[in-house]
């Protein structure tokens, strides 16, 4: 029988695992002549349709208030939606590698926001785990493809900030995970449609292969992982959930090798090792005391 902490950690890790398919399905869909905003619209339309069908038999048991539902929708439209769009903009300027590293500074942003705004105590072990993870992700970047463009870095940081706000807001909104996933997806769908329509890039895919990839990103890499992340927040803190979710880039690299034929270089493997080390430290953070480790080091 899993404890609440183990259950929440499992949900967060599984969420990161499924998010790892975003690169494969998303890139394949975009290569089918879709703009990023259009791909995101169909992604969130599919995910919201799935969750809606799952909710129909349960609608009489829902006890969420209108205020909670409105806030979940705004959370998706503003925080999650803009985070996703800004991430793709960052990728266009500085490449996916550096954009990924900058985006995954969001656990640090969560800790800072919780500390300075809500006065929440952050276990020191989380800072150590985050530093190890960030170092590992830097090693996972292909240095030959980095372009240091100020706009790209700014978009990446903004994407991380909005996603941190999404996680904190989701933690504080006590709405049921299934309904929250639906409303978040609808909010993101609206934001993506406005961006695609205003940029004259909206289109309806015609090829069946594109629809297969859209179904993959909408269900496997969106609806299910969002639902899992929201479930994890019912059991563990937003800091712990965000740190564990950084396993996503590890899965992205692994799936890139297995599904897209990408090369796994030695420093990429070393980066994966560092990220896994940081995640393991987070998993067992309740058993690790930095003060005890320091004392043992001094004694030796």
pLDDT by 10s per residue, the chain, length 300: 678 888 998 998 898 888 878 777 887 888 889 988 999 999 999 999 999 998 998 888 888 899 999 999 999 999 999 998 888 788 777 766 667 777 877 888 888 888 888 888 777 888 888 888 788 877 876 666 555 677 888 898 899 999 999 999 998 888 988 899 899 999 999 999 999 999 999 999 989 999 999 999 999 989 999 899 888 988 988 878 877 776 776 776 677 677 767 677 787 788 878 877 877 777 676 565 555 544 444 455
Residue 251: the pLDDT is 73
pLDDT score for 82: 92
* Owner of token pair 């005391």: 289
Spatial CA neighbour of 229 closest among 157, 277, 163:
163
Residues 30 and 217: beta-carbon distance below 8 Å? no
- Domain range for 153 is 4-56+63-299
Other Cβ atoms less than 10 A from the Cβ of 154: the count is 15
Q: What is the DSSP letter of 21?
A: T
CB 173 within 8 A of CB 70: no
Around Cβ 58, how many Cβ atoms within 10 Å?
11
**Are residues 113 and 162 in contact, defined by beta-carbon separation less than 8 angstroms?**
no
pLDDT value, residue 186: 96
- pLDDT reported for residue 294: 42
Contact 5/15 with Cβ under 8 angstroms?
no
Quick one: pLDDT at residue 293? 45
pLDDT in tens, 75-133: 999 999 999 888 878 877 776 666 777 787 788 888 888 888 888 877 788 888 888 87
Distance from C-alpha of 295 to C-alpha of 230, rounded to nearest angstrom: 38
Do 81 and 188 contact (CB within 8 A), yes or no?
yes
95: left (phi over 0), alpha (psi -120 to 50) or beta: left
- Measured between alpha carbons, how far is 281 from 158 in angstroms, rounded to an integer? 27
Q: What is the pLDDT of residue 212?
A: 96
pLDDT value at position 72?
Answer: 94
Full DSSP string of 27-90: HHHHTTT--HHHHHHHHHHHHHHHHHHHHGGGGGG----HHHHHHHHHIIIIIIHHHHHHHHHH
* Residue in this structure with the two tokens 């899992």, named with its chain if needed: 228
> What pLDDT was estimated at residue 288?
57
How many domains are contained in the chain?
1
Measure the CA–CA gap between 160 and 182, rounded to whole angstroms: 22
Task: Give the pLDDT score at 45.
Answer: 97
Residue 97 confidence (pLDDT): 64
């Amino acid at each position: 029988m899993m404890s609440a902490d183990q259950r929440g950690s499992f949900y967060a890790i599984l969420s990161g695992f499924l998010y790892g398919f975003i690169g494969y399905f998303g890139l394949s869909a975009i290569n089918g002549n879709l703009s990023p905003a259009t791909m995101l619209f169909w992604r969130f339309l599919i995910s919201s349709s799935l969750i809606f069908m799952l909710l129909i038999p349960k609608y009489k048991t829902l006890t969420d208030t209108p205020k909670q539902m409105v806030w979940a929708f705004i959370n998706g439209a503003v925080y999650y939606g803009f985070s996703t769009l800004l991430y793709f903009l960052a990728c266009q300027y500085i490449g996916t590698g550096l954009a990924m590293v900058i985006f995954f500074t969001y656990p640090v942003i969560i800790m800072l926001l919780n500390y300075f705004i809500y006065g929440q105590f952050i276990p020191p072990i989380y800072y150590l785990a985050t530093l190890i993870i960030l170092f590992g992700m830097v090693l996972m970047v292909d240095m030959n493809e980095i372009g240091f463009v100020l706009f790209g870095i700014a978009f990446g940081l903004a994407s991380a900030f909005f996603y941190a706000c999404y996680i904190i807001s989701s933690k504080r909104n006590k709405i049921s995970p299934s309904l929250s996933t639906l409303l978040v997806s609808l909010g993101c769908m609206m934001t993506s449609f406005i961006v695609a329509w205003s940029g004259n890039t909206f289109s309806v895919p015609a090829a069946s292969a594109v629809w297969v990839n859209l179904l993959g990103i909408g269900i496997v890499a969106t609806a299910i992982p969002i639902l899992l992340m929201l479930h994890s927040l019912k059991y563990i803190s937003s800091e712990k959930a965000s740190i564990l979710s950084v396993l996503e880039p590890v899965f992205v690299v692994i799936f890139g090798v297995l599904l897209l034929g990408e090369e796994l270089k030695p420093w990429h493997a070393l980066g994966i090792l560092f990220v896994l080390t940081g995640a393991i430290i987070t998993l067992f953070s309740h058993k690790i005391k930095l003060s005890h480790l320091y004392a043992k080091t001094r004694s030796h």
